[in-house]
Amino acid sequence: MKSLSTWSVLVLTLPTENATARMRFWRALKARGCAVLRDGIYLLPYTEAGEGVLRELSSAIGESGGTAHLLRAPSLDESQEGEFRALFDRADEYDGLIRTLADARKAVSGQSAAELTKVLRRLRKDYEAIAAIDFFPGEAATRAEAAWQDFVAHVDTVLSPGEPHPADRAIRSLSAGDYQGRTWATRRRMWVDRVASAWLIRRFIDRDARFIWLTSPDACPPDALGFDFDGAAFTHVGERVTFEVLLASFGLDTDPALLRLGALVHALDVGGANVPEAIGFEAVMAGTRERAADDDQVLDGMSPVLDSMYAHFAASEKGSDKGRRS
């Protein structure tokens, strides 16, 4: 016998004279994933956080002239458990998202980087909104996740063709003194990891670096130091993106500000923990690439941005350090 769920039950009457408030509360309940058991009775799988939200909503309803009573109760038996769980079936919502992704995929090749970034952000928000209220994920969730990952990968091939596969190797400790005045090569039409890596190389590793932008990794000259493509001297290793590999290789991973910048690059390149500054950086990157005639101009345009991001993170870390000492 499978375990029975406990439910938060909200019994309410909404203020009849305030249509705006009624709509606001209805939208809030829907956004939280509440199921309608019958008129005025809403159901949510019990969690401490979820019940806390319903308590706040109950208070707001009361202040607006309505009434709200929050209860907690378990399913009586497996039959009722199944009936209640069925109210939270997100299959139709996932199917709608999958259709939207299929339509968006058809238009990917004809859109600019800025447009694709905007579309990707919007659809990610839509996908995460459904996943956040899918309390009992099943086959539909699996299909939607596969469709989403496929769409993201397809967009990545347009934004950043030839994205490297993670290498399984140790990261060697290197001396920047052995890498001065060198020629560095990466794939053309740079995106976040490559432009940040090029900035890092010129700012912290090889101030006289010369860059060439490859139409194909196969075109990399034998005397050039390749980065961010399969077989390059510096590329993805394990879970680390190229920027993070360069940090580790040249002992720059002791700088907290560079580590925070690395987290931003990682999040935008392969996903991961949310970095608040990432959305703004991504928008600036997309706009810069649209305006630039070539990758030299992209690097010239983004270097001051990366300088500013580094300064921002350094100042933030310094402030945090002072706070810890006080």
| 206-234 residue pLDDT tens | 999 999 999 888 899 999 999 999 889 99
- Enumerate the β-bridge partners of residue 183: 210
Q: Are residues 183 and 320 in the same domain?
A: yes
Q: Are residues 248 and 122 in the same domain?
A: no
In a domain, 1, yes or no: no
Owning domain of residue 71: 6-86
CB neighbour list of residue 36: distance below 8 Å, 6 or more residues apart: 42, 43, 87
Q: Are residues 100 and 228 in the same domain?
A: no
In a domain, 170, yes or no: no
Query: What does 110-125 look like in DSSP terms, one character per residue?
Result: GS-HHHHHHHHHHHHH
Model confidence pLDDT, tens digit, residues 46-95 = 999 999 999 999 999 999 889 999 999 999 999 999 999 999 999 999 99
Domain boundary residue among 26, 58, 86? 86
Q: Are residues 186 and 292 in the same domain?
A: yes
In a domain, 149, yes or no: yes
Q: Are residues 305 and 181 in the same domain?
A: yes
Domain boundary residue among 27, 58, 86? 86
| Phi-psi region at 255: left, alpha or beta (left = phi > 0; alpha = psi -120 to 50) | beta
Domain boundary residue among 131, 159, 187? 159
If one counts every other C-beta atom within 10 angstroms of the C-beta of residue 98, the result is: 19
Residue 163's SS3 state is coil
Model confidence pLDDT, tens digit, residues 171-209 = 999 999 999 999 999 998 899 999 999 999 999 999 999
The domain total for the chain is 3
**Which DSSP helix (H) or strand (E) runs through 304?**
helix 295-325
Pairing of strands 6-13, 67-74: antiparallel
Q: Are residues 147 and 52 in the same domain?
A: no
Provide the token pair at 141: 């969730």
In a domain, 224, yes or no: yes
